[in-house]
């Protein structure tokens, strides 16, 4: 079963689509073309990695462009055999004159809904607040996201530079709004910051899932809390390698999390940049990190339980898993 619970829309723009959208908007092609601007040929560092992801930002220039990117992301995932895709994106990054935050969210929801309808693969959008934005900006964003609950938006996330902006307290009001609307809560935490950041994301923001969370392993008390609390860690091994967070994909902490009893789900984070989609990440688990069939079965069970799904979709995925 292929359930992708940590993937960024900005990391799924097809290079061919990028070229077409750029042409339509009068954006000059980057030297070497869009494929080279978007893709990483080899592991790098976070700065280079994020520059590759950010190269797509100017292409989110209209409702139609954004809806197309979102629809194609769902179509590509379905063509790759995925059973469910959650796509996160930062609407405030893409808002501009004539394109409000609500317009960006509406375009993503519309594109994803069209893609799901055409392919039969369910999907859900996760709105990401950014750490460096003011609390007021994120409160307004949460209100917009909440207004799309039940209309394509299923979750709320916090992303951005954890080292420069570690404080979670300023964002508590935004997350309270998202929770009240019934959105699922996840948070990029303990990715660059310390282990305790993961626990704080759960306690202060109500996160039931943690993006990356690799540093949880540094603190035995937080690791024990993670196992006991049932918090779910979204792991993205190749992405962590390509950002330079780990020196080699063989060093990924997923086996340590598993052995400690932490519930895990899988994501491909930014597959256009890394060249590894969810199937590739599953192969990393089995081929490189020693995952067994029983481990994968547990991953699938946790993925269905932890996904931000409508109840009907959760039951359908559970039935599909039982048939495998």
Give the C-alpha distances (Å, rounded to integers) separating 246 from 44, 264, 267, 279: 10, 18, 16, 21
Instruction: Report residue 81 as tokens.
Output: 């055999």
Whether 234 is catalytic is: no
Burial of 292 (0-12, 13-18, 19+ CB in 10 A): exposed
Q: Which of 110/269 has CB closer to Zn ion?
A: 269
Which residue number, 103 or 215, has a Cβ lying nearer to Zn ion? 215
Least distance to Zn ion from the beta carbon of 17, Å? 21
Shortest Cβ 8–Zn ion spacing (Å): 6
Return the number of the residue (138 or 243) whose C-beta is nearest Zn ion: 243
At 237, which helix (H) or strand (E)? helix 237-242
Within residues 229-288, the interface with Zn ion by CB under 5 A covers 269
For residue 232, the minimal CB distance to Zn ion (Å) is 14
Q: How far apart are CA 249 and CA 179, in angstroms?
A: 35
CB of 188 to Zn ion, least distance (A): 6
Binding mask 183-222 for Zn ion (x = CB under 5 A): ----------------------------------------
Neighbours of 151 (CB within 10 A): 12
Which residue among 86, 110, 191, 281 is the active-site one?
Answer: 191
What is the nearest approach in angstroms of Zn ion to the Cβ of residue 64? 26
Task: Starting at the earlier edge strand, list the strands of the sheet with 84-89.
Answer: 3-4, 84-89, 123-130, 153-159, 184-189, 209-212, 232-235, 263-266
C-beta closer to Zn ion: residue 17 or 243: 243
Q: By C-alpha distance, which of 183, 241, 171, 184 is closest to 212?
A: 241
- CB atoms under 10 Å from CB of 114, counted, come to 16
Strands 232-235 and 263-266, how do they pair?
A: parallel
User: Cβ of residue 118: shortest distance to Zn ion, in angstroms?
Assistant: 26
SS3 53: helix
Which residues are 124's β-sheet partners? 86
What are the backbone angles phi and psi of residue 109, rounded to the nearest 5°? -60, -40
Helix-strand-coil split of the chain, %, nearest 5:
55, 15, 30
Cβ closest to Zn ion, residue 19 vs residue 141: 141
Closer residue to Zn ion in complex, CB, 75/269 = 269
Q: Give me the active site residues, please.
A: 191
Residues of this chain that bind Zn ion (CB under 5 A) = 269
């Amino acid at each position: 079963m292929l359930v992708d619970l940590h993937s960024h829309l900005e990391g799924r723009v097809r290079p061919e689509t990028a070229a077409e959208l750029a042409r339509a908007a009068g954006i000059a092609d980057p030297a070497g073309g869009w494929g080279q601007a978007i893709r990483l040929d080899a592991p790098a560092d976070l700065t280079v990695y994020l520059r590759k992801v950010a190269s797509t930002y100017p292409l989110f220039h209209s409702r139609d462009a954004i809806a197309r990117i979102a629809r194609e992301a769902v179509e590509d995932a379905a063509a790759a055999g995925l059973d469910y895709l959650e796509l996160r994106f930062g609407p405030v990054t893409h808002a501009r004159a004539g394109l409000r935050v609500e317009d960006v969210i509406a375009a993503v929801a519309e594109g994803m809904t069209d893609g799901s309808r055409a392919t039969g693969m369910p999907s859900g959008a996760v709105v990401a607040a950014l750490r460096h934005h003011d609390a007021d900006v994120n409160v307004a964003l949460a209100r917009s996201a909440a207004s799309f609950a039940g209309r394509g938006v299923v979750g709320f996330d916090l992303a951005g530079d954890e080292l420069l902006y570690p404080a979670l307290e300023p964002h508590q009001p935004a997350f309270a709004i998202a929770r009240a609307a019934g959105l699922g809560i996840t948070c990029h935490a303990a990715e660059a910051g310390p282990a305790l950041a993961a626990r704080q994301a759960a306690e202060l923001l109500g996160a039931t899932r943690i993006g990356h969370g690799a540093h949880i392993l540094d603190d035995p008390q937080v690791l024990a809390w993670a196992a006991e609390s049932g918090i779910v860690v979204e792991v993205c091994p190749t992405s962590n390698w390509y950002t330079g967070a780990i020196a080699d994909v063989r060093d990924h902490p997923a086996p340590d999390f598993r052995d400690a009893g932490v519930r895990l789900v899988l994501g491909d984070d930014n597959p256009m940049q890394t060249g590894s989609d969810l199937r590739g990440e599953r192969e990393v688990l089995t081929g490189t990190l020693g995952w067994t069939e029983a481990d994968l079965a547990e991953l699938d069970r946790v993925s269905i339980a932890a996904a931000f799904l409508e109840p009907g979709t959760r039951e359908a995925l559970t039935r599909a898993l039982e048939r495998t």
